[in-house]
Each structure stands twice: as structure tokens, then as C-alpha cells.
Amino acid sequence: MQTHTLAIGGMTCAACAGRVERAVKKLQGVIQASVNFATEKLFIEFDGEALKIADIRDTVVKTGYSVIDKVKAADEDRERKQKEIRTMWIKFIVAAVFSLPLLYIAMVPMISIVRLPFPAGLDPMQYSLIYALLELLLVIPVIAVGYRFYAVGFKALIARSPNMDSLIAIGTTAAVVYSIYNTVQIAGGNFGAVNSLYFETAGVIITLIMLGKTLEAVSKGRTSDAIKKLMGLAPKTAIVIINGVEKEIPIEEVKIGDIIVVRPGSKIPVDGVVVEGHTSIDESMLTGESMPIDKKAGDTIFAATINTTGSIKFKAEKIGADTALAQIIKLVEDAQGSKAPIAQMADIVSGYFVPVVCIIALVSGVLWYVGTGDISFALTIFIAVLVIACPCALGLATPTAIMVGTGKGAENGILIKGGEALETAHRIQTIVFDKTGTITEGKPKVTDVLTTGGIENTRLLQLTASAEKSSEHPLGQAIAQGAEEKGLELLAVRDFESITGRGIEAVISGDKILAGNKKLMNERNIALDTLADESDRLAGEGKTPMYVALNGSLAGIVAVADTVKASSRGAIDKLHRMGIEVAMITGDNKKTADAIAKQVGIDRVLSEVLPQDKSSEVKKLQDEGRKVAMVGDGINDAPALVQADIGIAIGSGTDVAMESADIVLMRSDLMDVPTAIKLSKSTIRNIKQNLFWAFGYNVVGIPIAAGVLYLFGGPLLNPIFAAAAMSLSSVSVLTNALRLKGFKA
């Protein structure tokens, strides 16, 4: 299976997006296809052996749209869109210059309340033909700059897949053709036909819709500000040492292994490892962490972060698309291009929307003509219904909110991988936190060494540390580090074996060492009576007691404690205020786990859980009918992150955990967990508001345009006001989505 994203050009409404999506889905080998109208992108999963990218491109082009070359740099793409917006503004201004005088000469003769200046030589009652021809001359330039509505609209109509442009094209063409017919009637001596001219209706409708589409394009550009900010972070050049000489080169020419110099105040150009010097790096643009991080030789640094103090040299390790910044940009772009399940209803409606509107307009026009015998009145109804209908608002309601929401998350160091994750997060009822490295710092230290009397404390610590030196478990590493800090020499180890979820065994100087939890000791039939009470006491203090056996007999306990993160209690309190149950999952014994849980206010403790059983514990919670999120940072958390409805990975964790997660917290601050949930709730609320407005607008607007109110003595909707309302509907949805920019973490 392959995935690919294509930028699509020429889409003007949600119906266009639906048309492209349907056409691509018909291709053999397509697994999934999704077109996002707001981002103008097609995301596709397909069988690479059955289908080629060229086939997908050809299908999009045959459907009537263009494929924009994705290999263009982001700056070029941004410049292209800015150029399009400038062109749209120019066309609108040209249309306004001609449509405003057209509207003036069309309306002033009908206004009797106020006497406005009007050329006597254009009096429609005396100079009907001159009046009609002038209106025709004024409307032609407006139609010319709005030619795209007709080119796209009629093409879509011929292809039996009408879109919003089709509605505009049909409505304004009907108005212009009918007006030209009446102009011919005037030329033939029927001067009463001057009262049936609709040139100004067509001209003003096109102008207003052009204004609406321009404002829409500007607003859509603002929804992706987060991406622009991220892209703008990367420096354009780097100072590389070549043959012992410092040389400034374009960032594209940097190669892996190059030694790069970064001076105070400069940005880090690519990801790498410090080889010389000491400094503090401001990583806030990537993680949201406000305090600079100290860096020395051997530490990793990331592109776009700022060197605040010392001068350093570092070796380039990741360049181009492999840097952390590039990965974040891609992740945010993918998220912004994704669809949330809540959008499905809008997509279905948009697919049937335009054909249904055409039918309503035609039926309304015919019924009013039959009822009144007035072709002009029936035409007014027909045009108003076509023009007021707007699938754009429906198509923009969900993706624009997701774009702003995921962008706002990225600004706060919260990377949300897609619309589905964003939507699901607001329904979470239980959050399960892994203990080590998530609730706690993950940097445990040796606190107590107890023996049975047959061995000295330092000897027990030395033997245990020597055995644990080969272990990857944080507790084992802490014991090894604790011995080294005391100056103890670590001994040679053979026959080392890690026993998953229980401990380790090894042979040192001929002695068999067994170190681990109570389960391991019970399995090996080692009596614990002499230190059972001490173990309980240590566990009750929140420490993790590790039993150590020597040659089949209990030798003592090495206790390790992991400090709780400063943010853990506050984050859990905030989740409680949001009505969310909080659980903790750990391999620690029950007493130790309960002690930690008590410190931070955990509701439910899942202790003595083996790494491979974490996902099944999450499944048990889901079986209770709860929506469950899992927060973790280690490799052994990955299955549970996948099993959970939402997997949340701590950014300081492993790549495997981050790859498995739906949400990645770039900082190790648990306060970002309630922030992510709050952002989800705010975004979904915004989407619902947008959908309510978009559906409500059409449900109310179309019947009014069809003359339902007029039927009962109410007002009749002028097509010009219908066009203004249609343009405002899309702009209002975008404006509402942009309110999410005010979200506070």
C-alpha cells in the first residue's frame, strides 16, 4: 500500500471536491481517497502495483481540474496562492467599476422617494434603446472578468456533475439572455420591455460572488498560518567547515556528517549532535517550552531552534525532509488535510446539493409562471434560488476548523495527527497514564539498600548494579548509575538474561544473581519472610523495592524511587474538573503504585501489569463502554497506544511510541493532556456551529428565495440580496473558524 498527497487546482466549492473524490475512488487499486476543499488537496491510499500516480493525475485532469506539482517548495506554493488572491482582487475591482454604475442607472429611475441625479439622455421611458444598450455594454466587462464561472460551471453541467459555478452560470445567463431578448424587443418598438431588463442583476451577482470568493481565499490562507509560521522558522543558510575554513552555503547543500558552526543568536540549520562547545538552546518554536535548554557535547539539537548564548560546532545528522521540523510540518499538513467523521454528513449533502437546487429553482420558476403568468417574476424566483444556494459553506465548515485547531495545537507543542483524533479526543471519559517517565520523571535513584545480614550493603549494591548494567529497564539503569556514583567498580557479567516484566538473572564471579519483583522470587521459590515487612514499608513510601537473591537465597532489597513530575498533580486535577476519570498503569507492586497514585490523585490503579498486558488492560476499560485515552512514552506502551481510542505520546519518548500515537506532546508536560482535550472540545464545538450555520442558512434561504414568504404576503428576495447572502455564508463560516486562533492553553 502507498499513500500520496496531490494539490488540486480549479476547485471552487464542496461539490467540486466531491466530484474529484468520486472519480478517483472509481480507479482500480484505490483503497481510500479523500479531497479536502479547504486545503485543496487529495489524500489517497492505493495499491502501488495496480495503480500509478500518473493514472491518478490523468483522472483528476479528465474530471476538469488541474494537479499542481507537489515538488514545489512551500515558499513557491505560498507565492502562487498569494498571486491568485491578487488576481482575484483585481478582477473584483474591475467588476465593481462597471457593476456599480450599472446598478445605479438600473435602480435610480425606480426610486421615487428620493430624487437622485440622473442623466436626462438616459431616461428609460424616452430613450429606452440607449438605456438598454448602455446596460448591456456595462455588463459585458463584468461577465468577461467572471468568465471562469461560465467556463467551469457549464463544463461541470455538461459532465452531469454541476457545482456552485453551474448555479451562478445558469442564473446569470438566464438573466442576461432574457435581457438581450427584451433589448431586441425594444429595438422592434416594444418600449414596455424596458421594465424587464435584468442586466444589473447578473452584473451585481457576479461582482458580489467574486468579492465573497476573494474574501474566502484570504480567510482560507489565514487558517494555515501555523504551517506558514513553521515553514518560516527554518534558516536559509548554514556555516559549514570545509577544509578547515568556515563557509556559508545554502541549506539545501548541507550534507549528513558536515560540521556546522552556530554563533549566539543564530538558528540551528539542521538536526545534529553537538561536538564542541556549550550553550543554551531556545526550543520553544518546536516544543512550546519557554525555558532555554542547556546543550553540551553529545547532546542532540534541532533545526530552527535558536542558539542563545555560546558558540558551538555540531555534526549534521538529519537534513531536509528528515529534520524534526520537517516531520512536524508534514504531520500538521497531513492532519489539516484529513477529514473528521463529523464531516461525512456534510459531504453526503454536498454531493446531492447542486442537482437538487437546480430542480427546486426550475420547479419554483415554472409554478410561479403558471400561477402569475408573469415570466419576469418567475425568472426572478428562478435566479434567486440558484444564486442563494451555497454548498461552499457546507464544504468549509469542518476542514477550516480542523486546520485552525491542529495549527493552534502545533503552536502549543501538541501535534494532532488527524481530524478523527481531534474529534474523538473530546469524547474521552478515561485517561490511562503510564507511570514511569509519564507521571514520574523516569529518572529513578537508589534510596535504600537492605540486606539479610549475610552480605554488606555495598557488596549487594555492587553485585546488583553489575547485573543490571546490561538491563534496559529504567530501574536497572538507576541502580547501575547509583553504584557508579558511589565509586563502586562494576564486575564482569556472564549468562545475563532479562525476564520480561519480572527482573533479570546473571552470573558474577561464579555466583548466580537474581534481581526482580515479588513474582520472580515466588516463581523461583525464594522465601521473602525476613524482608517482607521492610518491602511493604518501602512500597508504602512510593519506592520500588527490588529483591535480590544470591545463589537461590534472599540476600536483600535495593529500593529505587522515581520523583513525580511537577505538572502531574495539576494536570490530573484539571482532568477531574473536566469530568474525566484518571487511571495509572504500571508494573510496580500494588503498594508502590498506590503510594504514587495517592500523591497525584489517581482514581484507578492498574498495578503489576506486564508490558505485553497493557493493551489488554486498556481493552478491559473499553469493554466497560468507556472512551479511553492512553498516555505513554516507551516502546512497551506502543500496543496500548494503538489499542486506546486515542493514543497520546510524550515527545521525550521513543520514536515507536510517537509513531503509534494519535497525539504527540512535544514537551514532557502533562498539563498538555488537558489542553489537548480542551482544544478538541473547542474545535468540535466550532465545527458544530459552522455546520448549524451552513445547514440553517440553506434550509431557511432557499424557501425564501423560492417565494414561500411572498406566497403568504411576505417579502420577495431580490437575486442581488441572494448573491450577497450566499457570499457572506462562506465568509461567516471561515470567520467563525478563525475564532479558534484565540484558544488559550
Q: How far is CA 184 from the centre of its chain?
A: 56
Q: Which residue's entry shows cell 518491602?
A: 535
Residue 607, helix vs strand vs coil: coil
- Could you give the CA distance from residue 156 to residue 548 in angstroms, rounded to a whole number? 77
- H/E stretch holding 679 reads helix 672-705
- Three-state secondary structure of 423-471: HHHCCCCEEEEEHHHHHECCCCEEEEEEECCCCCHHHHHHHHHHHHCCC
Q: Are 1 and 47 in contact (CB under 8 A)?
A: yes
Active site residue 347: no
Identity of the residue numbered 40 = E
- Could you give the CA distance from residue 632 to residue 622 in angstroms, rounded to a whole number? 17
**Partner residues linked to 570 by β-bridges:** none
Residue 491, helix vs strand vs coil: coil
Q: Are 304 and 285 in contact (CB under 8 A)?
A: yes
- Could you give the CA distance from residue 438 to residue 633 in angstroms, rounded to a whole number? 7
Identity of the residue numbered 77 = D
Phi first, then psi, for residue 555 (nearest 5°) are -105, -30
State the cell numbers at 500. Answer: 520480561
- Could you give the CA distance from residue 46 to residue 536 in angstroms, rounded to a whole number? 57
Q: Are 194 and 232 in contact (CB under 8 A)?
A: no
Q: How far is CA 232 from the centre of its chain?
A: 18
- Could you give the CA distance from residue 293 to residue 598 in angstroms, rounded to a whole number? 31
- Could you give the CA distance from residue 226 to residue 406 in angstroms, rounded to a whole number? 9
DSSP character at residue 610:
-
- The sign of the dihedral angle between the CA atoms of 696, 701, 703, 708 is positive
Exactly one of 434, 562, 645, 662 is catalytic; name it: 434
Q: Are 545 and 393 in contact (CB under 8 A)?
A: no
State the cell numbers at 284. Answer: 520553544
- Could you give the CA distance from residue 653 to residue 48 in angstroms, rounded to a whole number? 33
Burial state string for 212-241 with b = 16 or more CB within 10 A and e = fewer than 16: bbbbbbebbebbbbbbeebbebbeeebbbe
Q: Are 249 and 260 in contact (CB under 8 A)?
A: no
* End-to-end CA separation in angstroms for the chain: 38
The HSE-up count of residue 625 (CA atoms within 13 Å, CB side) is: 0
State the cell numbers at 10. Answer: 480549479
Radius of gyration of the chain (CA): 34
Q: Are 261 and 241 in contact (CB under 8 A)?
A: yes
Residue 474, helix vs strand vs coil: helix
Q: Could you tell me which of 393, 371, 391, 396 has the C-alpha nearest to residue 381?
A: 371
Active site residues: 434
